[in-house]
Amino acid sequence: MIRKLLQLLLLVAILSIVPGCWNRRELNTLGIAVGFGIDKAGDQYLVTAQVVDPGEATAKKGVTGRSPVVLYHAESSSVIEALRKMTKESPRKIYVSHVRILVIGESLAREGIADVLDLMSRDHEFRSDFYIVVAKHTRAENILNVLTSLEKIPAMDLSNALQTSEKTWAPSHKVALNELISDLTSEGKQPVLTAIEMIGNTEIGESRNRKNVETLDPPGRLQYSGLAAFNGDKLIGWLNEDESKAYNYITDHVKSTVGFMPCPDGGTMSLEIIRSKSKVSSKLENGKPSILVNIRIEANVGEVACHVDLTKTKTIEELKKISDQKVQGFIKASIDKMQKQYKADIYGFGQVIHRAEPKLWKQIGKDWDSYFAKLPVEVKVNTQIRRLGTVNNSFIEEMKK
């Protein structure tokens, strides 16, 4: 009994000297950053932080004329030092645990991004679930300077738009920090990031002008624009929409999208892709590797602007073949471009060979870029048309009778 009492007294004594929240920070002492931009400025980094103004972001009554976010800039030879230098201007320490988007300027991306990613992977305050994009033909600070309409906080708008676009539009692909670092450190696959660019009146957009959110049609807009291809940590080029679609089909990232195709007797029709599944395998022929890409697509008829009789099985078979050929065509074109122009395996074909033929990979892995440039790749597509919609044939044909 005495022993238990002594243990209880010891426990109470220990608890009395241990603080409950040893590393607590009050919210009114922190500047909550939701977006970051990193550019190259000579031999230094220009770091831009998009910080929430809590009073304006949550305001429900009237319009104060203040921006819901504030941008802070600092230059330094390291990213972490630039963040600390921002306190010369910001009354609060920049808090990075709620960052939703990191924008990398094009000039920095072409020089290499590995060094600037080290802080994000090392610092415990940075979470790994934010998305990373590349500013196309502009600087990252310009992208973060644009006010958006539907979301008060521009960084949240960019994050939500990328998630939505990936779910419904095949050319987009969201990449978080862990996936990017995995691609940078893996053998047999080069990274990609989604590109973002400014369209419309860039002067109004870049100036954080409230006119950009006070009209029905904002003069300056941000839009995701295909993928940026890397070799190692350096940007080497841009993929257009079809080439970006091809990447996502091959890597099995297409959740849903829409595509048009020609009809057998002229005109066009659209298919809504509701499911897609890809399988990439390798085989050896005379000791040389080759790749087979099998893609299975399930689609519904979305729109008909041609003369076709969808009640006939023969018509559905013809449409299936046309769809197969079109998807196969832009996938082959994308692979051909990466092999001949960039010589960078963004599809992960090298990883497939590495897993299937580890002994062969030891021989060719160190010079994989050269092997990839002449790697035989066969693409097979199988489209299944599931639903025709609420009507079989278009009412437009009835109007013509």
Residue 108 sits in the same domain as residue 251: no
Residue 330 sits in the same domain as residue 260: yes
Residue 170 belongs to a domain: yes
Residue 382, CA atoms < 13 Å, CB-side half-sphere = 7
Q: What is the pLDDT of residue 199?
A: 87
Task: Answer with the one of 209, 239, 269 that is the final residue of a domain.
Answer: 239
Task: Return mean pLDDT, the chain.
Answer: 86
CB atoms under 10 Å from CB of 104, counted, come to: 26
* pLDDT exceeds cutoff 70 at 216: no
The structure's pTM equals 0.86
| Alpha-carbon gap, residue 197 to 172, rounded angstroms | 13
pLDDT digits (tens, 9 = 90+) for 231-268: 999 999 999 999 999 999 999 999 999 998 998 888 89
* pLDDT exceeds cutoff 50 at 27: yes
End-to-end CA distance of the chain: 100
Write the CB contacts of 367 (distance below 8 Å, at least 6 apart in sequence): none
Instruction: Map residue 149 onto helix, strand or coil.
Output: coil
Residue 106 sits in the same domain as residue 160: yes
Residue 66 belongs to a domain: yes
Least trusted range by pLDDT, from 151-155, 295-299, 377-381 = 151-155
Q: What is the pLDDT of residue 370?
A: 92
Place of tokens 């990979």: 361
Residue 174 sits in the same domain as residue 302: no
Q: What is the pLDDT of residue 46?
A: 96
Residue numbers of the domain that contains 335: 242-401
Residues paired with residue 224 on neighbouring β-strands, in sequence order: 196
Residue 247 sits in the same domain as residue 282: yes
Residue type, 310: L
Residue 187 sits in the same domain as residue 267: no
Least trusted range by pLDDT, from 24-28, 63-67, 78-82, 163-167 = 24-28
* pLDDT exceeds cutoff 90 at 24: no
* pLDDT exceeds cutoff 50 at 217: yes
Residue 259 sits in the same domain as residue 334: yes
Q: Please classify residue 383 by burial: count the beta carbons closer than 10 Å to its beta carbon, then call 0-12 exposed, 13-18 middle and 19+ buried.
A: buried
Residue 176 sits in the same domain as residue 287: no
In angstroms, what CA-CA distances link 354 with 226, 298, 361? Answer: 28, 30, 5
Residue 330 belongs to a domain: yes
Residue type, 234: K
Backbone φ and ψ of 115, nearest 5°: -65, -40
Place of tokens 């691609």: 183
154 close to 147: Cβ distance less than 8 angstroms: yes
Residue 81 sits in the same domain as residue 215: yes
Task: Answer with the one of 208, 239, 270 that is the final residue of a domain.
Answer: 239
Confidence grade of residue 167 (pLDDT, cut at 50, 70, 90)? very high
Higher pLDDT, 79 or 211: 79
Confidence grade of residue 352 (pLDDT, cut at 50, 70, 90)? very high
Residue 235 sits in the same domain as residue 303: no
Q: Residue 339: give its domain's CATH number.
A: 3.30.300.210
Region 144-168: mean pLDDT is: 91
Residue 22 belongs to a domain: no
| Alpha-carbon gap, residue 231 to 110, rounded angstroms | 10
pLDDT digits (tens, 9 = 90+) for 326-348: 999 999 999 999 999 999 999 99
Residue 75 sits in the same domain as residue 94: yes
Residue 69 belongs to a domain: yes
Residue 11 belongs to a domain: no
* The two structure tokens encoding residue 280: 């990439």
What's the length of the chain? 401
Residue 18 belongs to a domain: no
Q: Tally helices (H) and strands (E) across the chain.
A: 15, 13
Residue 160 belongs to a domain: yes
Task: Answer with the one of 239, 255, 275 that is the final residue of a domain.
Answer: 239
Q: What is the pLDDT of residue 351?
A: 96
Confidence grade of residue 112 (pLDDT, cut at 50, 70, 90)? very high
Total number of domains constituting the chain:
2
Confidence grade of residue 22 (pLDDT, cut at 50, 70, 90)? very low
* pLDDT exceeds cutoff 80 at 56: no
Residue 247 sits in the same domain as residue 235: no
